[in-house]
Amino acid sequence: MSFFYTEEQLAFVRKRKTMPRDKLTAAFNKNFSTTKTKDQIKGLCRRKGWTTGNDGRFKKGHLPHNAGTKGKGICKPNSGSFQKGNKPVNWKSVGSERICSKDGYILIKTAEPRTWRHKHTVIWEAAHGPVSKGDVVIFKDGDVLNCSLDNLIKISRRELLWLNRNGFKKTPPEFKPTLLMLAKINVKAFRLGNK
| Number of compact structural domains in the chain | 2
Quote helix, strand, coil % in the chain, to nearest 5: 40, 10, 50
User: pLDDT > 70: what percent of the chain?
Assistant: 90
Q: What is the DSSP string of 71-130?
A: TTTTS---TTS--TT---TT---TT-EEE-TTT--EEEEEETTTEEEEHHHHHHHHHH-P
Please state whether the peptide bond connecting residue 64 to the residue before it is cis, i.e. omega within 30 degrees of 0: no
Tens of pLDDT, residue by residue over 15-62, are 998 888 999 999 999 999 999 999 999 999 999 988 887 778 888 888
Cα 74 to the chain's mean position, in Å? 31
Same-domain status, 120 and 38: no
Same-domain status, 103 and 21: no
Same-domain status, 42 and 102: no
Residue 83 forms part of a structural domain: no
Residue 90 forms part of a structural domain: no
pTM: 0.53
Same-domain status, 28 and 105: no
Domain that holds residue 20: 7-48
Residue 92 forms part of a structural domain: no
Residue 189 forms part of a structural domain: yes
Same-domain status, 120 and 44: no
Same-domain status, 103 and 183: yes
Same-domain status, 41 and 111: no
The C-alpha torsion from 52 through 58 and 60 to 64, rounded to 10°, is 130
Residue 142 forms part of a structural domain: yes
Same-domain status, 131 and 43: no
Tens of pLDDT, residue by residue over 100-154, are 888 889 999 988 888 899 999 999 999 999 988 889 898 888 788 888 899 898 9
Same-domain status, 21 and 107: no
Residue 126 forms part of a structural domain: yes
Same-domain status, 101 and 44: no
Residue 87 forms part of a structural domain: no
Any idea what DSSP says for residue 58?
P
pLDDT band at 1 (very low <50, low <70, confident <90, very high): very low
Same-domain status, 119 and 176: yes
pLDDT at 71 (0 to 100): 61
d(CA 154, CA 139): 9
Residue 186 forms part of a structural domain: yes
Coil, strand or helix at 7? helix
Same-domain status, 101 and 179: yes
Q: Count other C-beta atoms under 10 Å from residue 27's C-beta.
A: 15
* Cβ atoms of residues 94 and 107 within 8 Å: no
What does R_g of the chain's alpha carbons equal in angstroms? 35
